[in-house]
Structure 1
Amino acid sequence: MADNSSPVSGLAERYATALFELAEDDKALAELEADVGRFASMHDQSDDLQSFIRSPIYSAEEQLRGVSAVLEKAEIKGLVANFFQLVAKNRRLFAVPGIITAFRRMMAAHRGETTAEVTSAEPLTDAQVSALKAALKDSLGKDVALDARVDPALIGGLIVKVGSRMIDSSLRTKLSSLKLAMKEVG
C-alpha cells in the first residue's frame, strides 16, 4: 500500500482504521461494508452531496443534520450511521471520500484481495465487471475488488489503477495525446 503524505489521507486512514476495527470487534464487517457502500453510492451519484461534504461553510450542527438526513434516507443505522455522524460532529466531512477508499482497501486486504480503482464513462454492466475482474485476476494472480466510479468526461474507455500502476485507455486521454502530437507536427 502506498504511503500518502497528505494530511487528509492520513486522517482518512485513521478514521477508516477505527471504523474497520470497530466492525471487526463486532464481527459485523459484511453488514458494515454494505452500509458504507450504500453511502458511497449516494455520494458518487449526488453532486449536491459531494458539494455539501466538501464545503467548509456549514457549521458542525448543519453538517450533522445534513448527514443524518442522508443516512436516514439510505436507511443506514447502527455503527455506520454513528460513525458518519461523529465525522460530521468533528467537522471532518471533507475526508469522507478518502475514508471510504481506505476502508474499501482494508476490506479487500482482509479478504485477501487487491483493490482496483476503475473509472469509466458510463456505469459498467455486471458482465463487464465480471470480465474485468477475470482479466485483472489473470494479470495479478489475486482476486480483485473493484472500486468503480463514473466520469462522463472520459467519453469512453477505462482508467484502471491497481496500487501504483495505472492503465488509461480513455478516449479523453487518447484525444489529448493526438492533439499534442498534431501540435508538434505543424
Structure 2
Amino acid sequence: MAETYVSGVAGRYATALFELARDANAVDAVKADLDRFAALIAESDDLKRLVRSAVFSSEEQERAVAAILDKAGIGGLAGNFFKTVAANRRLFTVEAIIRAYEALVFAYKGEVMAEVTVAQPLSESHAATLKQALDAMTGKNVKLAVEVDPSLLGGLKVKLGSKLVDASLKTKLNSIRTAMKEVR
C-alpha cells in the first residue's frame, strides 16, 4: 500500500481505526458501518445537531450515540469507535473521520475517488465512459462520487485528489464575461 497521509484530529482517529480494522481483517465491514452512520447523519437534522454541537455533554453524546448505533445495528469495531469518539468529545469530527477513513481504504485497495459535479444526472453510459477515461489517465481503479448541481448549466467538474478540472458552462460563460469587460 502506498502511504496515504491524512492530517489533523480526524486523520489521527481515521488512521487508528483503519489500522485496527486492517489487523482484524475488517476494513470493508468497518467502511460499511461508517457509510451507514454517515447516511444517518445526512438523513437526520437531530443527529447533525448532536454531532456538530458543543452544547451536549460527553455523557449525553455517548448515550445518544449508543442508542443510535443499537437501533442501526452498528456494533463491533465501528460501534466501539463511535462510542470512543463521543466519550472523547470529538464527535464534531466524525464526518471528517469518515472521509479520511475512506481515503485510507481507497489507497489500500489501489483505488481513487473522483468527485464529479454535473448539471444533470449522468446516464450509465456517460458515467462508464468518464470512469474509463479517468481509469486510463490515473492507471488506477477510479470510483465516481457524482453530485448534481443545476447551477453549472452544462458540462462538468471533476476533482481527483488535489486536481480540479472545471469544464462547466457556468465557468466558461464567466470567463467570456470577464474577457468582455477587459475589452471595454
TM-score (norm 2): 0.77
Report the CA distance between 1:66 and its aligned residue: 2.5
- In structure 2, the partner of 1:69 is 67
Deviations 1:21-79 (A, max 9, x none): 11111111121121112122222344443333211111111212232233233221111
Query: 2:62–2:83: 8 Å Cα contact kept in structure 1?
Result: yes
| Corresponding residue SS for 2:115 | strand
Which region of structure 1 is more displaced relative to structure 2, 40-49 or 13-22? 40-49
Deviations 1:63-116 (A, max 9, x none): 122322332332211110110111011111111121111111111111111222
Report the CA distance between 1:123 and its aligned residue: 7.2
Identity in percent: 45
The structure with the larger Rg is: 2
Report the CA distance between 1:153 and its aligned residue: 7.1
| Corresponding residue SS for 1:68 | helix
- In structure 2, the partner of 1:174 is 171
Partners of 1:150 and 1:123 in 2: how far apart? 8
1:126–1:47 Cα change, 3 Å = farther
1:36-55 equivalence runs, <5 A: 36-55=34-53
Partners of 2:5 and 2:123 in 1: how far apart? 32
- In structure 2, the partner of 1:91 is 89
Partners of 2:58 and 2:27 in 1: how far apart? 28
Query: 1:12–1:96: 8 Å Cα contact kept in structure 2?
Result: yes
* Count of matched residue positions in the alignment of Structure 1 and Structure 2: 180
TM-score (norm 1): 0.76
Partners of 2:166 and 2:137 in 1: how far apart? 16
Query: 2:4–2:104: 8 Å Cα contact kept in structure 1?
Result: no
Report the CA distance between 1:168 and its aligned residue: 3.3
Structure 1 runs not aligned, ≥5 long = none
For residue 19 of structure 1, what is the amino acid of its counterpart? L
| Corresponding residue SS for 1:160 | strand
Which region of structure 1 is more displaced relative to structure 2, 93-102 or 162-171? 162-171
Whether 2:181 is the aligned partner of 1:184: answer yes
* RMSD between aligned residues: 3.2
